Amino acid sequence: MSKEIKDTYFSKFKTKINHQIIPEKFNLMIDEPHPLCLLAAGELQDYLSNQTDWIHNFGLSDDDETPIIGKMFGVLVVQNQENELGYLSAFSGKLAGCNQHAKFVPPVFDLLTENGFLNPGMKELTHLNQEIRDLEAQGYNENLTHIRDLKLKRKNHSIALQNKIFNHYHFLNQAGAEKSLSEIFKDIGYKNPPAGAGECAAPKLLQYAFQHKMKPIALAEFWWGQSPKSDFWKHGQFYPCCREKCEPIFKHMLSKIDIQKG
C-alpha cells in the first residue's frame, strides 16, 4: 500500500474553522481580507515573527545592520483534492536572497536555477558594460563608432534576454489552459510586460493551486517590515493586489471563476 505524499506547502488551520463562513464565490480582497484570510495571515505572521529557517532583515529590530527590505506576503485559502480546508503562502520577489523556501510555494519560473540562461546573459551584459567603460576612458571621441556599436549590441542583448525571461513564465487557469507572460500582456495591448510581472505573491499562489487541482477560496496580501521610501506600505497592513502587474495575469488565471471582491 503506497504512502500518501504530504504536500509541504499546504498548511492546515491550527484553529477550528466554522465552515459557514466559507464564501460561495472566490473572494479576492479589494478593501478588507476575508475572515479566513485573516486567520491564515495571522498564522503566517506568527511564523515570520518566530522562524529560524532563514535570515532576512525586515527592519523590525535594531540588531541587524544589513539592508532593510520589507516584503509583500500572500495567503490563498484553498480546498485540496481530499476536501481539506487550508492555505498556501507566498512572498513577492526574493526572500533572504533566494526564490525558494520551505513553507512558501515555489516561483512560477525560477530565474536563479543553476545552469539557467540568466547568469550567462547577465555576465555578457557586464562584459559589454566594461568594454564600453574602457573605451570611454581611453578617449570617447576616438572610439565613438566602436562605443556606439557596443551600446547597440548591449541594447539588443538586453531586450532579447528580457523577452526570453518573459517567455519562460507560463500561467495556468483552473481549466488547465496555459499562457506565457508575453501573450497575457499582448492580449491587453501592452508591447511588453512590466519588469517583475509574475513575481508577485498572488500569481505564485494561484499557479500552485491550479497545478495541484486545489480550489481557490479566498486570497489576500499583506506587507511585512519597514515601509520603503514611498512610505505607502505599512507593517502588517493588507493591500489589494497590484493593478499594473497582477490584473492582466488575473484576467487569464481567474477566467471562468466567479469572483466576490471583498
Q: Which helix (H) or strand (E) holds 216?
A: strand 215-224
**Both 99 and 123 in a single domain?**
no
Across the range 29-46, mean pLDDT stands at 96
Residue 142 located in a structural domain:
yes
Mean pLDDT, the chain, integer: 89
Rounded Cα distance, 69 and 227, in Å: 9
Q: How many domains does the chain have?
A: 2
Q: 89 and 123, same structural domain?
A: no
159 and 99 co-located in one domain: no
* Same domain as 37, residue 66: yes
Do 92 and 209 fall into the same domain?
A: yes
Query: 6 lies in a domain?
Result: no
Cell numbers for 95, please give them. 526572500
pLDDT digit string, tens, across residues 77-103:
999 999 999 999 999 999 998 989 999
84 and 34 in a common domain: yes
Of all residues in the chain, what percent carry a pLDDT higher than 70?
Answer: 94
Whether 123 and 99 share a structural domain: no
Are 43 and 59 spatial neighbours (Cβ–Cβ below 8 Å)?
A: no
What value does the mean pLDDT take over residues 221-245?
A: 89
> Domain limits at 216?
23-107+198-225+254-261
65 pLDDT more than 50: yes
pLDDT score for 167: 82
What whole-number percentage of the chain has pLDDT above 90? 63
* DSSP-derived secondary structure for 245-262: HHHHHHHHHTTT--EEE-
- Are 41 and 86 contained in the same domain? yes
Distances (CA, A) of 75 to 86, 187, 203, 206: 10, 28, 11, 10
176 is a domain residue: no
